[in-house]
Amino acid sequence: MEMRQVFVEELERLMKADERVCVIDADLARASGTLKLREIFPERALDVGVAEANMASVAAGMASYGYIPFITTFAPFATRRMCDQFALSICYADTNVKVVGTDPGITAELNGGTHMAFEDMSIVRTFPNVVIFEPVDVEQLRQAMPAIVDYKGPMYIRLARKPQPDVFDSSYKFDMFKADVIKEGTDITILATGIMVAKAVEAVKILADKGVNAELINVHTLKPLDKDTILKSIKKTNKVLTVENHSIVGGLYGAIAELTAAEYPVKISRIGIEDVSGQVGKLDELAEIYKLTTEEIVVKAEK
Q: Tell me: the pLDDT tens digits for 50-93?
A: 999 999 999 999 999 999 999 999 999 999 999 999 999 999 99
* Average pLDDT score over residue span 219-239: 98
Non-local CB neighbours of 5 within 8 Å, separated by 6+ positions: 33
Residues 215 and 286 in one domain: yes
Measured CA to CA in angstroms, residue 45 lies from 12, 20, 26, 41, 59 at distances of: 10, 11, 11, 6, 11
What is the strand order of the sheet 98-102 is part of? 45-47, 21-25, 68-74, 98-102, 155-159, 131-133, 221-223
Residues 20 and 136 in one domain: yes
Question: How many Cβ atoms are within 10 Å of 167's Cβ, its own excluded?
Answer: 20
- Contact by Cβ (8 Å): 100, 159: yes
Does any domain span residue 82? yes
CA–CA separation, 200 and 187 (whole Å) = 15
The pLDDT score that the predictor gives to residue 244 is 98
The pLDDT score that the predictor gives to residue 8 is 97
Residues 15 and 153 in one domain: yes
Domain count, the chain: 2
**Considering only CA atoms, which of 194, 205, 176, 173 is closest in space to residue 242?**
194
- Contact by Cβ (8 Å): 300, 241: yes
Residues 138 and 186 in one domain: no
- Contact by Cβ (8 Å): 259, 231: yes
The pLDDT score that the predictor gives to residue 136 is 97
pTM for the predicted model, two decimal places: 0.96
The pLDDT score that the predictor gives to residue 64 is 97
Domain that holds residue 68: 3-159
The pLDDT score that the predictor gives to residue 269 is 97
The pLDDT score that the predictor gives to residue 95 is 97
Non-local CB neighbours of 258 within 8 Å, separated by 6+ positions: none
Residues 146 and 233 in one domain: no
Please report, for the domain that includes residue 188, its CATH number.
3.40.50.920
Does any domain span residue 172? no
The pLDDT score that the predictor gives to residue 276 is 94
